[in-house]
Chains A and B, each alone.
Chain A
Amino acid sequence: MPKTTPKTMFEKIWEQHVVSQEEGKPALLYIDLHLVHEVTSPQAFEGLRLAGRNVRRPDLIVAVADHDVPTTPRDTEVVIEDPIAKQQLAALSENTAHFGIELFDMYSPGQGIVHVIGPELGATQPGMTIVCGDSHTATHGAFGALAFGIGTSEIEHVLATQCLVQARPKTMEVRVTGELQPGVTAKDLILSIIGQIGVAGGTGHVIEYTGQAIRDLSMEGRMTVCNMSIEGGARAGMIAPDEKTYEYLRGRTRAPKGDAFDEAIKDWNELATDEGAEFDALVEIDASEIEPRVTWGTNPGHVATISGNVPSPEDFESPGDQENAARALEYMELKPGQRITDIAIDRVFIGSCTNGRLEDLRAAAAIAKGRKVAPGVRAMVVPGSTLTKKLAEEEGLDKILTDAGFEWRSAGCSMCLGMNPDILSPGERCASTSNRNFEGRQGRGGLTHLVSPEMAAAAAIEGHFVDVRDWEPVEA
């Protein structure tokens, strides 16, 4: 038998989904799962209606309200003050009802951030193509799926055809060798990777994360890593499925059941990149050298270590980067050389599709237990989904956190981008577990520092950034 050419996981999934392709043209790619939320979909549904078109496969779509929803309690009717947010949520309800699409609205027990509920439902599975009108769709790649963000016109295209016209991207292997030190998390790892490749380093590529440190991560940690692939410019990030992946999925609502699950595992085991397969680019990184990270600037590549200092524009080589750094420092109201641990904060946000899962809330609670949020600091914990919230409450995490002075909120995107009422005021400085520290992202004039949940909780307690590796748990 002729030997087949070794293939990467990306190539295998891609090839399994090409419906048709003409010479020299992009492929028509079949989409297995389409996730929809209220912000990027209304114009797509409107487009369908105007053209008199239908949704081809409503059964392959999951819709959820997450970006605009207030995080106040939902046991009674939630009043949405913002008339336009209200309209957008209403449009989602109406569009999904009209086209027969399942919707998890604000009051549904299955509600949550779109990238948290996909895996939680077991809808996200290895080998799938998954799209969503949201750049953090790469999160689902943690299960060995090809998952990427699309624009609204493309959403409309997928609604109408269940396919997407796509040119084949290049591939990049990010190989993480060694082990992460205690107190160093998946968040610190991905911030280090972005710091190394730069915010445009992955442009045009699909990243596959490999190596011991990746295998050692929990599914939550892998999702954190894949989630931020876009911050390195890559539309997708993926990790080969293994026992951890299967254990996570077993028994979930939408995962295959019984024998079908075992059959599925056989297929899923075939997905991993073959020995000898080639990537277009390779980046290597040693996990053991990574320290907890804190961003200092206005993009996720502006990253420092907790023991380090705020850089000076002169530390950068190109005039462009120097100017960019100078602008960022000015916006962030920071001085070159300032110690990271001397930066005082006003607000803390623990949540988002990057770090709003149960494991993240456990990590924050472990730091907060028996301690108190520093006077003058307002700290908010927003579970990534309503189910996450419930499970955390069953473990008593809410009690630990509220005893320490954290606010315990209802699920949604919240202060990750502040489309709901949770926003920073101008000049407020925030330690945030989200994924973007862009100017004004959390509120106009707001100053965002990206960190892990552990680091955010510790900053809440000390009122400034601290090295969590120095922390001992408080004995109960």
Chain B
Amino acid sequence: MDPLKKVSGVVAPLDRANVDTDQVIPKQFLKRIERTGFGQYAFFDWRYLEDGVPNPDFILNKAEYRGAPILAAGPNFGSGSSREHAPWALKEYGFMAIIAPSFGDIFRSNCFQNGMAPVVLSQAGVDTILAKALRNPGYRLTVDIVEKRVYDEEGFSESFEMEPFRLESLVEGLDDIGHTLQSVDTIAEFEQAHPARW
């Protein structure tokens, strides 16, 4: 995985609470057997009208927010289904950092697995960012993962928490499996000491 230390760029504001992973990537697109090809379907039911025409009212369809690397959203973003297709779709769509007051647990963990940063800011902080990005399309932010801080050029700055091991794996682009496989002996010892019953 590529290391991720800092994300700078336009913020796409999605001012909704409880955006679940069924919205991020509707189930009709879960049938692919690859990790790629999901970006085109991100937020499909909101992004497109019945006949496949882009919905002009959906915020992410506005030209100013195209290609934004940062998504800001309301609380409990990514709740519901465990589908990793959700972060795959968002990453392929172009988002490298998602800012919200809170996240669904599995979604948050899935983001890290894919080298994306789910960043928890205060509700007030997120509200400020949403308001600025809505009022002023093209509004830019920097998410500094190493410094654990989100800031803009107009004086907004808020720091955030991130578990050290998560931060390390993002910044270093670590492969979890390779790391765990270094402990095969310990795993084998554990298995010997705890034989399964059936």
Say whether A and B bind each other: yes
User: Is A441 in the interface zone, CB < 8 Å from B?
Assistant: yes
CA distance A30 to B30 in the complex (A): 29
Proximity string of chain A (344-368) to chain B, C-beta cutoff 8 Å, 1 when within and 0 when not: 0000000000000000000000000
Binds A, one of B21-29, B60-68, B131-139, B146-154: B21-29
CA distance A161 to B178 in the complex (A): 10
In the complex, residue of chain B having the shortest beta-carbon distance to the beta carbon of A260: B197
B30-45 with Cβ < 8 A to chain A: 30-35, 45
* Residue of B31, B83, B190 with most partner-chain A CB within 10 A: B31
Binds A, one of B3-11, B90-98, B103-111: B103-111
Q: Which residues of A contact B (CB under 8 A)?
A: 16, 19-20, 24-26, 28, 30, 32, 39-40, 42-43, 46-47, 51, 53, 56, 60, 68, 82, 84-85, 87-88, 91, 122-123, 125, 133-135, 149-154, 156-157, 160-163, 165, 167, 199-200, 203-204, 230-231, 233, 235, 254-256, 260, 264, 299, 320-321, 323-324, 327, 417-419, 426, 436, 438-441, 444
**Are A235 and B20 in contact (CB-based, < 8 A)?**
no
A-side contacts of B196, CB under 8 Å: 32, 60
**Are A439 and B110 in contact (CB-based, < 8 A)?**
no
**Are A436 and B80 in contact (CB-based, < 8 A)?**
yes
Q: A24-B164, A320-B17 are in contact. Are A200 and B33 (CB under 8 A)?
A: no
CA distance A235 to B104 in the complex (A): 9
Q: Which residues of B contact A (CB under 8 A)?
A: 16-18, 20, 22-23, 26-28, 30-35, 45, 50, 74-76, 79-84, 87, 102, 104-106, 109-110, 113-114, 163-165, 176-177, 180-181, 183-184, 186-187, 190-191, 194, 196-198
**Are B84 and A43 in contact (CB-based, < 8 A)?**
yes
Minimal beta-carbon separation of B38 from chain A (angstroms): 10
Q: A153-B114, A320-B75 are in contact. Are A439 and B102 (CB under 8 A)?
A: no
In the complex, residue of chain A having the shortest beta-carbon distance to the beta carbon of B114: A153
CA distance A221 to B165 in the complex (A): 38
CA distance A204 to B181 in the complex (A): 27
CA distance A106 to B163 in the complex (A): 42
A-side contacts of B30, CB under 8 Å: 39, 419
In the complex, residue of chain B having the shortest beta-carbon distance to the beta carbon of A18: B190
**Are A440 and B22 in contact (CB-based, < 8 A)?**
yes
CA distance A165 to B181 in the complex (A): 12
In the complex, residue of chain B having the shortest beta-carbon distance to the beta carbon of A441: B22
**Are A149 and B114 in contact (CB-based, < 8 A)?**
no
In the complex, residue of chain B having the shortest beta-carbon distance to the beta carbon of A169: B105
Task: Kindly identify which residue among A46, A151, A299 contacts B18, using a CB–CB cutoff of 8 Å.
Answer: A299
CA distance A321 to B110 in the complex (A): 27
A-side contacts of B197, CB under 8 Å: 125, 256, 260, 264
**Are B81 and A30 in contact (CB-based, < 8 A)?**
no
- Could you jot down 6 A-B contacts, CB within 8 Å? A84-B32, A150-B82, A161-B181, A167-B165, A199-B76, A320-B17
**Are A439 and B75 in contact (CB-based, < 8 A)?**
no
**Are B76 and A203 in contact (CB-based, < 8 A)?**
yes
Task: Kindly identify which residue among A20, A30, A233 contacts B76, using a CB–CB cutoff of 8 Å.
Answer: A233
In the complex, residue of chain B having the shortest beta-carbon distance to the beta carbon of A132: B82
Q: A68-B31, A125-B197, A151-B82 are in contact. Are A161 and B180 (CB under 8 A)?
A: yes
**Are A418 and B186 in contact (CB-based, < 8 A)?**
no
Q: A20-B186, A200-B102, A254-B198 are in contact. Are A163 and B180 (CB under 8 A)?
A: yes
Task: Kindly identify which residue among B20, B74, B113, B164 contacts A151, using a CB–CB cutoff of 8 Å.
Answer: B113
Minimal beta-carbon separation of B70 from chain A (angstroms): 21
Minimal beta-carbon separation of A42 from chain B (angstroms): 4
A-side contacts of B176, CB under 8 Å: 153, 157, 165
Task: Kindly identify which residue among B31, B79, B194, B198 contacts A30, using a CB–CB cutoff of 8 Å.
Answer: B194
* Residue of B28, B165, B198 with most partner-chain A CB within 10 A: B198
Q: A30-B190, A134-B82, A256-B198 are in contact. Are A439 and B35 (CB under 8 A)?
A: no
Task: Kindly identify which residue among A162, A163, A199, A320 contacts B74, using a CB–CB cutoff of 8 Å.
Answer: A320
B-side contacts of A40, CB under 8 Å: 82-84
Minimal beta-carbon separation of A194 from chain B (angstroms): 12
A-side contacts of B82, CB under 8 Å: 40, 133-135, 149-151
**Are B186 and A19 in contact (CB-based, < 8 A)?**
yes
Minimal beta-carbon separation of B75 from chain A (angstroms): 7
CA distance A47 to B1 in the complex (A): 13
Minimal beta-carbon separation of B106 from chain A (angstroms): 6
**Are B165 and A25 in contact (CB-based, < 8 A)?**
yes
CA distance A419 to B29 in the complex (A): 9
